[in-house]
Amino acid sequence: MTATVKYDEVEAGQEIPARDFPVSRLSLVMYAGASGDFNVIHWNERIAKSVGLPDVIAHGMFTMAQGGRFVTDWAGDPGAVVDYGVRFSAPVVVPDDDQGAVITISGVVEEKLGDNKVVVALKAYSGDSRVLSKARAVVKLA
Amino acid sequence: MTTVSDGDLEALAERLIAEGEVRGEPAADPVNLPMIRHWVDAMGDTNPIYTDPVFAAAGVHGEIVAPPAMAQVWTMPGPRGGKTTRSTVDDLLAAVNAAGYTGVVATNCEQTYHRYARLGDLLTPATRLTSMIGPKLTALGQGYFVTWNVTWYDADGEPVTEMLFRVLKFRPRTRGESGNGAASREAAATAAREAASRPAAPGATAQAEGGGPAKGSAGPGSGGGRRPYPLKPAKNQDTEFFWEGVAAGELRIQRCGDCGALRHPPGPMCLACRSTATGYTVAAGTGEVYSYVVHHHPPVPGRETPFVVAVVALPEGVRVVGNVVDCAPEDVGIGLPVRVTFQAMDDELTLPMWTPLDEPAGGTR
């Protein structure tokens, strides 16, 4: 995978470049099966719209997990995430077309803690919507 | 419909919270490679630490581990349920539904990973109902924030992962009985019940996350066939650019075509140089509450009282009047940092409003 990020080489304020994570209806069907979360609003357009949603929306835990993966890939050590919390601030709307949606995630090293841990603040957008807010991960670096 | 009062709910919540942590049944299967493979496939995550034993052996864990975000997956009951043990969260959510708070959106999830789960770990969840706060007026309607914590223990009784999960259970806003309002409300209630039946299971988490107020279910007359919002803004040649901006998701501020001074509300002539040449700039969309009132009375068509009307000072130097939403009126104060949010009032009208920039835990956005 990526090179391991070293605690001593990281500074508060350091930015982690944005990455795009595509989400299609296929992703949601696969995630429903893999996660055991079959809530209809994640695959049934008719019911999603009937409850006032614009269309089928991605599982919040899917979006959250992509944020975790973003941090993990950056740290280069999948054993590194210690704490991770988010607020679900807007849905990721996934239209039934060839493109689907894109979740764009970027981060910044907000604070260096002791014991080789750093706090990474994440931003996640889908289009103009901020889909995660107050998203922070505590990561233990090498 | 309402057979359980708010008082009953609060008494029940207190009793259930006092029960503390309640153990659920162990996962149907131990942590295993096929389930990991399905999950990382869905995520598009190709990190071999989760699937390649040779690669993983050389890594920090020395063996394959499960992605930490799979925490709740191991004990999800699946669409057929099959759960036999009761949980305090199930009990409370059932009562909250019975009290008419049938809508649900997930608002928060926090996870702590004591260690990454390894192949063969048999995880057992224990769920603790933590709090029920409300009723609060939110952009989605009146509701309670219900929070619970789940800890997954390994076979030795050591915690592997902890999770806090919070949902807003809200009473879907009532609409007129005309058109398909009643039908769609019933559909909404059905889907909401279905959704609400899921998170209660220990570890069963995600449902209508982020049903953000601007995205549909919030506006008066949400759902299919929205009821037209009764109050329409006056649009004229001076303000047309502003409303076109709103429709495009921009907060536009009029700017003098000659001296460049900004002014709001829009008008025909520059107050600084008397020029009638006009243009506009797009505001950053942030500001802070300069002053505000909480409107309790009289009733306003299409709105639920109380609501906040604020004068918001923009960094660009002008002040804009608008509602502050997504938080309780008592959480609004002078100096509160806010950002603009575009609220769909019906199928055609969108209004710019303001939402706390850094909402306290327990908001809906």
Q: Residue A33 falls within a domain, yes or no?
A: yes
CATH class of the domain comprising B6-31+66-214 = alpha beta
Cα separation, A69 vs B69, in Å, equals 9
Classify B197 in phi/psi space as left (phi over 0), alpha (psi -120 to 50) or beta.
Answer: alpha
First to last CA, chain B: 28
Cα separation, B56 vs B44, in Å, equals 18
Cβ separation of A73 and B47 shorter than 8 Å? yes
Distance of CA B84 to the CA centre of its chain: 30
Give the per-residue pLDDT at B198: 40
Burial of B199 (0-12, 13-18, 19+ CB in 10 A): buried
List, in order, residues 6 or more apart from B59 with CB less than 8 Å away. A77, A78, A79, B49
Give the per-residue pLDDT at B224: 42
Give the per-residue pLDDT at B108: 94
Residue with more model confidence, B32 or B171: B32
Question: For an interface test with B, which of A38, A40, A51 has the most B Cβ atoms less than 10 Å from its Cβ?
Answer: A51
Cβ atoms of A17 and A106 closer than 8 Å: yes
What is the mean predicted confidence (pLDDT) over B315-334? 92
Option in A21, A40, A133 nearest B191 (CB) = A40
Which residues of chain B lie closer than 8 angstroms to A40, CB-CB? 191, 194-195
Residue-wise pLDDT for B255-285, tens only, equals 999 999 999 999 889 988 999 999 999 999 9
- Give the mean pLDDT of chain B: 82
Give the per-residue pLDDT at B316: 92
The amino acid that residue B25 corresponds to is E
- Extents of the domains making up chain B: 6-31+66-214, 240-356
Cβ atoms of A78 and B59 closer than 8 Å: yes
Option in B65, B111, B191 nearest A79 (CB) = B65
Chain A CA closest to residue B212: A90
Q: Residue A62 falls within a domain, yes or no?
A: yes
Tell me phi and psi for residue B134, to 5 degrees: 145, -165
First to last CA, chain A: 15
- Which residue from B174, B172, B166, B151 is spatially nearest to B207, judged by alpha carbons? B166
With a cut of 60, say whether residue B215 has pLDDT above it.
no
Total domains in chain A come to 1
Cβ atoms of B106 and B199 closer than 8 Å: yes
Which residues of chain B lie closer than 8 angstroms to A87, CB-CB? 107-108, 359, 361, 363, 365
Cα separation, A92 vs A131, in Å, equals 7
A10–chain B nearest CA distance, Å: 20
With a cut of 50, say whether residue A24 has pLDDT above it.
yes
Q: Residue A56 falls within a domain, yes or no?
A: yes
Give the per-residue pLDDT at B237: 85
Cβ separation of B112 and A27 shorter than 8 Å? no
What is the mean predicted confidence (pLDDT) over B44-65? 90
Give the per-residue pLDDT at B82: 61
A44: helix, strand or coil: coil
- CATH, residue A40: 3.10.129.10
If you search the block for the tokens 């040649």, which residue do you land on?
Answer: B237
Q: The domain containing residue A114 runs over which residues?
A: 7-140
Question: For an interface test with A, which of B209, B282, B364 has the most A Cβ atoms less than 10 Å from its Cβ?
Answer: B209
Of the segments B1-5, B48-52, B182-186, B225-229, which one has the largest average pLDDT value? B48-52
Range with lowest mean pLDDT among B56-70, B144-158, B191-205, B322-336? B191-205
With a cut of 70, say whether residue B203 has pLDDT above it.
no
Range with lowest mean pLDDT among A66-75, A133-142, B196-205, B340-349? B196-205
Which residues of chain B lie closer than 8 angstroms to A72, CB-CB? 47
Give the per-residue pLDDT at B81: 64
Kindly indicate the confidence band of residue B207, based on its pLDDT and cuts at 50, 70 and 90: very low
Contacts A–B by Cβ distance under 8 A:
197
- Give the mean pLDDT of chain A: 91
% of residues, chain B, pLDDT over 70? 81
Cβ separation of A50 and B224 shorter than 8 Å? yes
Tell me phi and psi for residue A64, to 5 degrees: -60, -45
Cβ atoms of B20 and B129 closer than 8 Å: no
Distance of CA B237 to the CA centre of its chain: 37
> 0.95 exceeded by the pTM?
no
Cβ separation of A51 and B41 shorter than 8 Å? no
Cβ separation of A39 and B113 shorter than 8 Å? no
ipTM of predicted assembly, 2 dp? 0.94
Which residues of chain B lie closer than 8 angstroms to A86, CB-CB? 108-110
| Tokens read off for B3 | 């057979």
Kindly indicate the confidence band of residue B138, based on its pLDDT and cuts at 50, 70 and 90: confident
Cβ separation of A83 and B111 shorter than 8 Å? yes
Q: What is the CATH number of domain B240-356?
A: 2.40.50.840
Which residues of chain B lie closer than 8 angstroms to A117, CB-CB? none
Give the per-residue pLDDT at A78: 58
With a cut of 80, say whether residue A72 has pLDDT above it.
yes
Residue-wise pLDDT for A79-112, tens only, equals 689 999 999 998 999 999 988 999 999 999 999 9
Give the per-residue pLDDT at B199: 37
- Which residue from B311, B316, B271, B259 is spatially nearest to B288, judged by alpha carbons? B311
Which residues of chain A lie closer than 8 angstroms to B161, CB-CB? none
Cβ separation of A35 and B73 shorter than 8 Å? yes
A26: helix, strand or coil: helix
What DSSP string runs through B147-204?
Answer: EEEEEEE-TTS-EEEEEEEEEEEE-PPP--SSTTHHHHHHHHHHHHHHHHTTTTSTT-
Kindly indicate the confidence band of residue B202, based on its pLDDT and cuts at 50, 70 and 90: very low
Strands in chain B per DSSP E: 21-23, 103-113, 124-138, 141-153, 159-170, 252-256, 262-263, 278-282, 286-295, 307-313, 319-324, 337-344, 350-356
Option in B76, B187, B223 nearest A37 (CB) = B76
Give the per-residue pLDDT at B18: 95
Range with lowest mean pLDDT among B21-25, B336-340, B341-345? B341-345
**The dihedral formed by the CA atoms of A85, A88, A93 and A94, expressed in degrees to the nearest 10:** 30
